[in-house]
């Protein structure tokens, strides 16, 4: 993927899927009515979390995974002209 943004610890960088611009019934939605996307593509992962005993707990998601995450999860950032969400792995609800 070649992203120059490397998350730390148990954080992941997700590229959100584009917001739907049409409703299920085919009505075109203006920007103000579009829902925040809750799924996206993992583009970078951290090395994992260090447990209390000092051992590394490896990440379960990997680059290229399509994931579902909570509506208000993570922090939105812009980097190299693209928008991303950086969140902890625990904020990811499922791999699709």
pLDDT level of residue 37 (50, 70, 90 thresholds):
low
What average pLDDT does the chain have? 86
Range name among 9-23, 48-62, 80-94 with the lowest pLDDT average: 9-23
Which domains, from first to last, does the chain contain? 11-17+31-95 (2.30.33.40)
pLDDT of residue 72: 86
- Average pLDDT over every residue of 67-75: 91
Q: Which has more pLDDT, 3 or 45? A: 45
- pLDDT for 35 beyond 80: no
pTM above 0.85, yes or no: no
Q: 14: closest CA among 72, 63, 71, 48?
A: 63
% residues pLDDT > 70 (the chain): 80
């Amino acid at each position: 993927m070649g992203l120059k943004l490397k998350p730390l610890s148990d954080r992941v960088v997700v590229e959100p899927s584009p917001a739907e611009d049409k409703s299920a019934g085919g009505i075109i939605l203006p920007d103000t009515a579009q829902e925040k996307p809750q799924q996206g593509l993992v583009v970078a992962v951290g090395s994992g979390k260090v447990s209390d005993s000092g051992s590394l707990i490896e990440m379960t998601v990997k680059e290229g995974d399509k994931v579902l995450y909570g509506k208000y999860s993570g922090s939105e950032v812009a980097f190299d002209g693209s928008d991303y969400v950086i969140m902890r792995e625990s904020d990811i609800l499922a791999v699709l």
